[in-house]
Amino acid sequence: MTPTAIRTVAVLSDIHGVAPALDAVLTEPDVAAAERIVVTGDIAAGPHPVDVLDRLVDLGERVVWVRGNADRELVTLARGGTTIIPDPIGPWAAQQLPDRHVALLADLPHPVTLQLDGFGAVLFCHGTPRDAQLRTTLFDVEAACAGIVATGCPEAEAWADFFVRSPAGDAQALSTFAPRDGRDADVVPR
């Protein structure tokens, strides 16, 4: 092992500003024990953008940040721009961000390469998974949805229903995103 190689990594992606989901994942034993937590994008665009960013910032250098498309869009919106994404919560979330969070998101790199013990250089990016195996962490979905509705986000109930109560499974995610990275639809599990 080289002196700079990292031994254990937990990879989190697509938090989308849902603090109860992040809290649940951060208490997972494998995540809590990881030397680094790599957050691969779409971090704060959702009902709890400030809470999510603050929790991750509080973890200090354990967190390795990678920019996702929703992070880029939040910065654009926070700086007065527009996007073509028809998400009612995105503009609301951007308005919640203090300048320090806008600056953090604006400076996120994409991609990031880390030296991992046993693997060497590993590239982390916001993109499609090439493995059909995604992990799920259980949390109180109804309490999370109630908290989302309580934020006052526009269309919060519909957003919570679609993104929290009925999340896509790995087969649905792969069938949606695999063709975007060049894989044939017949290779994707149904």
CA gap 80, 173 in Å, rounded = 31
The arithmetic mean of pLDDT across residues 11-17, rounded, is 94
CA gap 50, 63 in Å, rounded = 16
First to last CA, the chain: 40
Alpha helices in the chain (DSSP H): 19-26, 29-33, 49-58, 69-78, 89-96, 99-106, 141-150, 156-160, 170-177
Contact 102, 79 (CB under 8 A): yes
Domain boundaries, the chain: 9-125
Q: What is the amino acid identity at position 23? A: D
pLDDT mean across residues, the chain: 86
Q: Considering the entire predicted model, what is its pTM?
A: 0.76
Tell which residue, 174, 164, 116, has the closest CA to residue 139: 164
The per-residue pLDDT for range 19-66, each reduced to its tens digit, is 999 999 999 999 999 999 999 999 999 999 999 999 999 999 999 999
Classify strands 112-116 and 120-124 as parallel, antiparallel or unpaired.
Answer: antiparallel
Instruction: Give me the CATH code for the 9-125 domain, please.
Output: 3.60.21.10
